[in-house]
Chain A
Amino acid sequence: MSNPVIEAPPTAPAVTWQEGEQLARRASSRRRAKRLVLLAAGWVAMLLVWNVAAYYLPAGVLPSPLEVLIVMWEIVASGAFAANFFASVGKTFVGFLVAIAVGAPIGYLMGRYTYWRAFFHDGVTVAGTIPALTYAVLSLIIFGISDLGPILSVALVSVPYIAINVAEGVRGVDQSLVKMSQAFGRSPQQIRRDVFIPTLVPYIFAAIRMSFAVAWKVEALTEVFGGTNGVGFQIRSEYQLFNIDGVLAWMCLFIVFMLIIERLVLRQFENRVLAWRPEERVGR
């Protein structure tokens, strides 16, 4: 065997551990700063492109970012945003509850019994690959102009995610914990409540996180065509008045706040509920 080549580390190692930790800290803050600069540069570039496009396109087609920002402020200040935003969020969450009520039992059967798995598997897979737009249209056909349309479309989009994840969760239940519970004389209800449900919770969170990203877009889309309130409905109203800046203002506000819910609120809630999972505490 030839002699292994041992290379020197790329930078000189620290002499003391304090020094080492300080070097590591400095390196990580340098990385963070670099990331922030690039993030900001991305935003500036995007707004710049928008501004230039607004300038060269015929008047009235694309308002500039500043004009949209002013309209956004007016919408927020008038209180219209809060009312419609919460209407949309409310419908999204009711849709989720419906999806859990339907999807969780299906997932439970799929995870627990092989024949039910055979029965549901292809249906759930197909339902998961149908484009969300189809569900929006279907909900409109069924409910017409109503609050129920957006709720149904959210539910339809989310059911496959919930079912597949719950099935995965049920199969992930640790049988040795079930045996331990039985040995100590725990009742089936206790085992369901203290072993099954806690195993499922992380899987349901995963399902919610995945489907929420799709659901709020479908919800707004359904509102555009068949809403009586909510952000999607406002977008349509502005469009019918040819207020492009209004359309864009509502859209931007909606995207910003939904991303906040998706990235911050849901994740915070999840971290709190799943505090027992060591890996969950290493949030990004």
Chain B
Amino acid sequence: MAVLTVKDLYKTFGAGTPRANRVLDNISFDVRGQTFVSIVGPSGCGKSTLLNIISGVETHTSGQISVTSDDGKPARMGYVFQDPRLLPWRSVRKNMLYVQDQADDETNRRVDKYLDMVGLGKHGDFWPGQLSGGMQQRVGIARAFAVEPDLLIMDEPFSHLDAITARALREQLQDIWSQSKKTVVFVTHDVVEAVELSDRIIVLQPGGKIFEDITIDLPRPRRQTDPAVATLQAEVLARLERMKGMAPQVSAAP
């Protein structure tokens, strides 16, 4: 598990030029322990940029950010992307081993364990090209869990999948996450998905300010069909309707 602290964070692309674009505006929050946090907002509001800053791929303009593991050491991070991003010339198992630092027996056992958990225990020797999109995305999820990260970062991991596959993977993700002690930062533009998965939802508005910070207190495991989940989803959607730019997604206009 990790301790993530973000304080007074600003990010401006092309600062000092005429085309300066402020993407993140005074963001502060912190997350610790086995918490599932979603960052929600319309596309272009800076969600991926925030993740990139957390993971250290992108620099920030001002403010503080720190990610450490529980015991104060630098945090180990795992990533799940929008697309599976598997090396097509490596078998499923070798793809999982590719991001591991060691290749000992213990690592191999761990890789097999997570492959089993996503239901692909028998597919370790398949080429990625022989799997469906949903199966490939599961490999991507198993790969991220198998590095035993303190902080797991997921950027719209289900947005490319069909509704039925996405729903099954959301349930699977919850199960695996409940068994493993990990802090998760999950980005999505889908409020409904966020309510189902999260302990807490941080809503960004266009321009990159925090609009709302919502705590979701529902028992787990949650299922899309639970009436309690559905009620809360409607409630959160109603609260967000006040936000400009989010409205077109909320009202189901044809």
Contacts and interface: CB of A to CB of B under 8 A. Distances in A.
**Chain A partners chain B:** yes
Interface of A: 176-177, 179-186, 194-195, 198, 201, 275-278
B88 A183 contact: no
Interface in B56-82: 57, 77-79, 81
Contact of B129 (A181, A184, A195, A276): A276
A176 B101 CA distance: 21
Given A186-B98, A186-B99, A198-B89, A176 B81 contact: yes
Contacts of A180: 79, 81, 85
A241 B87 CA distance: 59
A186 to B, nearest CB: 7
B79 A276 contact: no
Contacts of A201: 89
B215 interface: no
- Among A184, A194, A277: residue with most chain B CB under 10 A: A184
A161 to B, nearest CB: 22
Nearest to A278: B129
Given A181-B98, A184-B147, A185-B101, 5 more contacts: A177-B85, A179-B85, A180-B85, A184-B99, A276-B129
Given A180-B81, A183-B79, A184-B79, A194 B55 contact: no
Q: How large is the interface on B (under 10, 10 to 19, 20 to 34, 35 or more residues)?
A: 20 to 34
Contacts of B147: 184
Contacts of B81: 176, 180
B123 interface: no
Contacts of A198: 87, 89
Nearest to B91: A276
B57 A183 contact: yes
Interface of B: 55, 57, 77-79, 81, 83, 85, 87-90, 98-99, 101, 127-130, 147
B74 to A, nearest CB: 11
A276 B55 contact: no
A238 B81 CA distance: 67
B88 A276 contact: yes
Contacts of A278: 127, 129-130
A179 B127 CA distance: 21
Contacts of A177: 85, 87
7 contacts: A179-B85, A183-B77, A184-B147, A186-B98, A276-B129, A278-B127, A278-B130
Given A182-B57, A183-B55, A278-B129, A195 B99 contact: no
Contact of A276 (B77, B89, B98, B99): B89
B90 A176 contact: no
Contacts of B88: 276-277
Contacts of A275: 127
Contacts of B99: 181, 184-186
B83 A176 contact: yes
B111 to A, nearest CB: 14
B88 to A, nearest CB: 6
Nearest to B94: A194
Contacts of B129: 276-278
B127 A276 contact: yes
Contacts of A184: 78-79, 98-99, 147
Nearest to A190: B98
A183 B81 CA distance: 10
Q: For the complex of A and B, list the 7 residue pairs with the smallest distance between their C-beta atoms, beginning with the closest.
A: A184-B99, A180-B85, A198-B89, A276-B127, A276-B89, A278-B129, A183-B79
B232 to A, nearest CB: 33
Question: Which of A183, A201, A276: most chain B CB closer than 10 A?
Answer: A183
